[in-house]
Amino acid sequence: MRFVAIGTHPPVTTEEQADADLTEIAANREHCRAQVANGNYEAVYVMEGVGRFIIANVESDTELLKILSEPPDHPERQWAITRLLDYESVIDDYLRSVGLEGAT
């Protein structure tokens, strides 16, 4: 199943930037690279400001949350996960449900 995961956290303070742990940053980068390589993540983006946007292909939102929690990350990051559905399939299912199968 495909999911979109949007992770946000409060803006990073000057103090937090000064204390940035390059080891944790490298571990986070390697985690994302590995998840793309093994197909769990189809795409990873950083949204301008304080957000991350991931398109994932995993069995469940529970599995995705487990994967998202593996690398070191901002301690206040919160994830919103939404399942993605194929547009054409959803429209076809709707037309069938209202008795208009084959209407388009």
**Who contacts 101 (Cβ-Cβ below 8 Å, separation ≥6)?**
92, 95
Is 35 part of any domain?
yes
Q: Which domain holds residue 28?
A: 2-97
| pLDDT per position as a tens digit, 86-104 | 999 999 989 999 988 766 6
Specify the amino acid at residue 2: R
Q: Which CATH number covers residue 32? A: 3.30.70.1060
Is 102 part of any domain?
no
Q: In what order do the strands lie in the sheet with 51-57?
A: 41-47, 51-57, 2-8, 78-84
Per-residue pLDDT, 104: 66
- How many folded domains does the chain comprise? 1
Per-residue pLDDT, 103: 66
- Tell me the C-alpha distance between 45 and 48, whole Å: 9
Contact (CB, 8 A) for 19 and 67: no
Q: Does pLDDT of 76 surpass 70?
A: yes
Which of 40, 39, 30 lies closest to 63 in space, CA to CA?
40
Per-residue pLDDT, 54: 98
| pLDDT per position as a tens digit, 7-66 | 998 887 777 777 778 888 899 999 999 999 999 999 999 998 879 999 999 999 999 999
